[in-house]
């Protein structure tokens, strides 16, 4: 991943605008870029887990989570409004994120049973849908071969197929009693986005693009014990902060 970031940074630093004789990135151009995305979560963390039941509400100090890195294919759709200003939509195959838990959950207080999250790894998995829409400003002219860019925009992230570790799920189901189940979810969120990178124009149609995208992702993860009547008998919540660094490399085609 560090090599990808260095490559993108190097492309930006090479702001030498060599004319290539074609206006491949000019007003009205539409470029589709297909590539791959590396998601790095260097500073993921969570607030202590809060558990609520008929016995009261208790916080488990020292509990935390870490989100594992992931890799997935990606597609960028870029439209040039002017020679310098473009709008871009970014989508990727929803990666399967793995979340590891740390510390001990004391759902019924300090005097009750303690559950070590280290026994359930990963504690949770989920598919993340995180499309991005940005406005980008390109340096250099439309005929330049190398064009660094900066951008900002918005992201909406939601999660599907949120699943607990089978052993963790089984433990919660026992708390729910006969016929009980464990249910997990993660809340969606809107997030501001910043991006930087560069495009190298191979010829009038084809190009190479490298970029880095960052946004402060937050979600509330819940994992509950639900009895046979559908009532939540034990709820557990934590607020997760992930702030992924998304490194993208791709090959673009101008239509």
pLDDT tier at 7 (50, 70, 90 boundaries)?
Answer: very low
CA 126 from centroid of its chain's CA atoms = 11
User: What share of the chain has pLDDT > 70, as a percent?
Assistant: 91
CA 26, distance to chain mean position in Å, is: 31
* pLDDT of residue 3 exceeding 50: no
**Sorting pLDDT into bands at 50, 70 and 90, what band is 72?**
very high
pLDDT in tens, 187-209: 999 999 999 999 999 999 999 99
Mean pLDDT of 233-250: 96
Longest dimension (CA), the chain: 75
Domain 2-254 - what CATH class?
A: mainly beta
Ramachandran quadrant class, 140 (left: phi over 0; alpha: psi -120 to 50; beta: rest): left
Residue pLDDT, tens place only, 101-140: 999 999 999 888 999 999 999 999 999 999 999 999 999 9
Share of the chain above pLDDT 90, in %: 86
pLDDT at 23: 57
> How many other C-beta atoms lie within 10 A of the C-beta of residue 101?
27
The whole-number pLDDT of residue 59 equals 97
Q: How far apart are CA 188 and CA 148, in angstroms?
A: 32
The 8-class DSSP code of residue 41 comes to: -
Cα(226)–Cα(243) distance, integer angstroms: 31
pTM listed for this prediction: 0.86
Helix, coil or strand: residue 117: helix
| Gyration radius (Cα) of the chain, Å | 23
Q: List, in sequence order, every beta strand (DSSP E) within 165-228.
A: 181-186, 189-201, 206-214, 218-226
Of all helices (H) and strands (E), which one includes residue 56?
strand 56-60
> Phi, psi (5° rounding) for residue 7?
-65, -45
Considering the chain, what is the average pLDDT of its residues? 91
Q: Which pLDDT belongs to residue 25?
A: 79
pLDDT at 19 over 90: no
Cα angle value 16/22/24 (rounded, 5°): 85
Q: State the pLDDT at residue 24.
A: 64
């Amino acid at each position: 991943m560090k090599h990808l970031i260095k490559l993108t940074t190097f492309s930006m630093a090479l702001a030498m605008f060599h004319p290539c004789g074609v206006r491949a990135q000019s007003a009205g151009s539409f470029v589709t870029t297909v590539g791959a995305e590396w998601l790095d979560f260097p500073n993921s963390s969570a607030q202590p887990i809060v558990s609520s039941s008929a016995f009261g509400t208790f916080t488990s100090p020292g509990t935390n989570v870490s989100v594992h890195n992931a890799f997935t294919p990606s597609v960028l759709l870029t439209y040039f409004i002017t020679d310098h200003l473009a709008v871009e939509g970014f989508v990727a195959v929803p990666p399967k994120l793995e979340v590891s838990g740390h510390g001990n959950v004391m759902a019924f207080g300090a005097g009750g049973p303690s559950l070590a999250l280290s026994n359930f790894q990963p504690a949770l998995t989920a598919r993340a849908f995180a499309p991005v829409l940005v406005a980008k400003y390109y340096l250099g002219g439309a005929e330049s071969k190398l064009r660094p860019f900066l951008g900002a925009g918005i992201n909406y992230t939601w999660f599907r197929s949120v699943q607990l570790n089978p052993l963790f799920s089984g433990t919660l189901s026992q708390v729910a009693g006969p016929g009980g189940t464990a249910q997990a979810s993660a809340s969606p969120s809107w997030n501001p986005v910043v991006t930087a990178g560069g495009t190298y124009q191979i010829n009038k149609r084809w190009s190479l693009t490298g970029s880095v995208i960052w946004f402060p992702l937050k979600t509330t993860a819940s994992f509950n014990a639900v009895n046979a009547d559908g009532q939540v008998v034990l709820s557990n919540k934590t607020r997760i902060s992930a702030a992924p660094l998304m490194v993208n490399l791709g090959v673009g085609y101008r239509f």
